Amino acid sequence: MKRFSLTAPATLALAVIATAACAAQPAPLPPNSATTQPMPPMPPAAGGSLPGVSNSAAPMPAPPNAGAPLPPPQARDNGPLDGTPATVSGVVRRFLINPDGDVDGMLLADNTLVRFPPHVGSQVASTISPGDAVNVSGFAQQPNGTLRASLISDTKSGRSIADQPPPADAQRLPRSLAGIGLVKLSAVGRVLRVTTAPRGESDGVLLADGTVIKLAPPAALQFANLLRPGTTIAAQGYGTRNRYGEALQATAFGTPGNLTTLYGNVPQ
């Protein structure tokens, strides 16, 4: 793998760390629903006036069955993919990090991908080491079968780590300093797995050497033909390299020698 690094300005890094924001965005709305595009002007009410402004027009008649009870709400099918309860056992091959350098997953020897929140990562990494056998309980997320862990246990020591919310008084890095430590990185390699955001949309790849490349879900749609296991890809962006591995948020993505710039205002 070919890499190079250069300290990136914090403001530049903030412009490209888009995956987390995309993962947290509301689920896609069904066709004909309101979108994030500007709303068209409200149509005039009966009689030609705006809603809420009285006029001489006769009141609109009540719709048929206005007094009938409302039907029960229908279940949403565009929320987070909670998946089905599942348990796996295996040997930890390596930890995975996000572009900020936080441990947020691990790859087992059979290529099972286990994910957990970054605030749990430091506890997992201090309790478990690569080569340890673990039992993981959680929820299997489709379509790629990633396991979202709720409890991770070291089978030898018996120690367990549960996914719990961080303490209310936990210290957080000020937003103004987000991305201050990111460096410029590049990567070339074979796709081992495609990663997904909480609602199941593709948001990057895990390479065979453990490098994590993140893409904002809208950008990932441009490269559906490359987001497949076994494909050789190339990327440039900003992220972190530490003792656990390497991860970057892509600002350019494609195949070796044929990169597509994703953000026109970010130098490559």
Q: How many Å apart are CA 234 and CA 253, to the nearest integer?
A: 6
Do residues 10 and 260 make contact, with C-beta atoms less than 8 angstroms apart? no
pLDDT of res. 198 = 79
Q: Which one-letter amino acid corresponds to residue 142?
A: Q
Residue pLDDT tens, the chain, 268 long? 444 444 444 444 444 444 544 444 444 444 444 444 444 444 444 333 333 434 444 444 444 444 444 443 333 333 344 578 999 999 999 999 999 999 999 999 999 999 999 999 999 999 999 999 999 999 987 666 789 999 999 999 999 999 988 776 666 666 665 667 899 999 999 999 999 987 888 999 999 999 999 999 999 999 999 999 999 999 999 999 999 999 999 999 999 999 999 987 665 5
- What tokens does 94 get? 């390596």
Q: How many Å apart are CA 261 and CA 252, to the nearest integer?
A: 4
How far apart, in Å, are the Cα atoms of 72 and each of 69, 75, 77?
9, 9, 15
Q: Domains of the chain: which residue ranges? A: 84-162, 178-261
Q: How many Å apart are CA 108 and CA 150, to the nearest integer?
A: 16
Superfamily of domain 84-162 in CATH is Nucleic acid-binding proteins (2.40.50.140)
The CA angle 190-192-193, to the nearest 5 degrees, is 130
Domains 84-162 and 178-261 share a fold: yes
Q: Which CATH number is 178-261's, of 3.50.50.60, 1.10.1040.10, 2.40.50.140, 2.40.10.10?
A: 2.40.50.140
3-state secondary structure of 182: coil
pTM, full prediction: 0.67
Residues 6+ apart with CB under 8 A from 156: 132, 133
Residue 196: which H helix or E strand, with range? strand 183-196
How far apart, in Å, are the Cα atoms of 121 and each of 66, 96, 97, 117, 124?
54, 9, 9, 7, 5
pLDDT of res. 143 = 62
